[in-house]
Each structure stands twice: as C-alpha cells, then as structure tokens.
Structure 1
C-alpha cells in the first residue's frame, strides 16, 4: 500500500472516530450550561444578584461553546438570555435577572 493511501485512510479513520466525541462535547456544554443556569436561579430567588452573575457567566461560556459546536435557535436564544441575566444582575436586579435565567433554562432544555 502506498504511503499516501495509508496516510489518507488513517486520516479518514481518525476523523470518523472523533465525530462521537465532538457530539458528546456539545451535549456536555449544554448540560453544564443547564447546571449553572439552575444555580443562578437558586441564587436569584434568594436575592443574591452577585452570585447570579457568577453562575450565569459560566453558563454563558458553555452555551456559547454549544452554539459554536452545533448552533440552533434555542442555543442562540439561551446565549441572549444569559447575557441579559448578567446585565441585570450587575445592576443588582435579582428579580429581572432571575426571569432571564428562567427563559435561558427553557431554551437550553429545548436545545438538549
């Protein structure tokens, strides 16, 4: 077998073997985003706007990664809602931030 053919087949095999890992990584990002959004909701319901912001930032980074990996309208909307969650929590509006976090959670769960 020629070296070029071997290299091509090896590369193709490697690419095919990585597809499940990429799909799993996307699901992991959505799962992590959901987890941190739920934490943000708990803190928001207790009036802790600063902690809402911390969890929403982590959730946002995972939602963006999921949106990049395989974006759909729900991940895009979740990113927007999480950005608004952070903005409201920075203004110490825990109730408004909680509302946006709830909307983000709905979108993330639909994206899963």
Structure 2
C-alpha cells in the first residue's frame, strides 16, 4: 500500500524537475533576448544586467535538466559569462555576439 504513494511522489518529482527546467530556460531566453537588444543599442550596462539574470536561470535550468537540454544550457551559461565579461569592458559588440550564441543554445536545448 505504501508503494502507490511513493510512486506518485516519484512521478510528481520527475514531472516537477522537467517543469522547473522549462521555466528556467524560458526565463533565461527572455533575459538573454533583452540583453541582446540592449547590446545592439550599445548599452553595455543594461546588457550585463540582463545577461546576469539570464545566466542565473540558465545555470538553475542546467542543474535540473538532462541530456541535450543540459548540454545546451551549460553552453549558454559559458556564452553568457563571456557576454558579461565583455559587457563589463564596454565591448557591447562582442558581448552581443556571445549573447546571441547563448540564445541559440537555449533555443536548441528546448527542441
């Protein structure tokens, strides 16, 4: 009798992890796109702010993801770190390139 509730809990936890990963990926994408838009405007400070938020969500999503999605979120995180580094140096063009690469990884992981 105890196995049924245990199985239900295990299923719920597995479903929740996938849902959390999708939520984090969606938030990472939203902030990465905002960062890219600010970078195209030449606004390095705003790019860094949004890229930082995207990085937090990409890392959180990578923790609960598996397989291809995890690999792409980890790659996106590396690109976002580069974007932040270049943005802090006021290299908006290079920061935007890395942000665009992160966006592609986040989208690829969601497929």
Common topology (TM > 0.5) = yes
Say if 2:88 is the partner of 1:90: yes
SS in 2 for 1:84: helix
Any gaps of 5 or more consecutive residues in structure 2?
none
| CA distance in structure 2 between the partners assigned to 1:13 and 1:27 by the alignment | 21
Query: Over aligned residue pairs, what C-alpha RMSD do you find?
Result: 1.3
Write the mapping of 1:1-112 to structure 2, written as runs, cut at 5 A: 6=2, 8-71=3-66, 72-112=70-110
The count of aligned residue pairs is 107
SS in 1 for 2:90: coil
TM-score by length of 2: 0.89
Any gaps of 5 or more consecutive residues in structure 1?
none
Q: For the pair shown, which has the larger CA radius of gyration, 1 or 2?
A: 1
SS in 2 for 1:55: helix
Pick which of 16-25 and 40-49 moved more. Answer: 16-25
Name segments (4+ residues, structure 1) moved above 4 Å.
none
| CA distance in structure 1 between the partners assigned to 2:102 and 2:52 by the alignment | 12
Q: CA deviation at 1:52?
A: 0.3
**Pair 1:29–1:92, CA change in 2 (3 A):** same
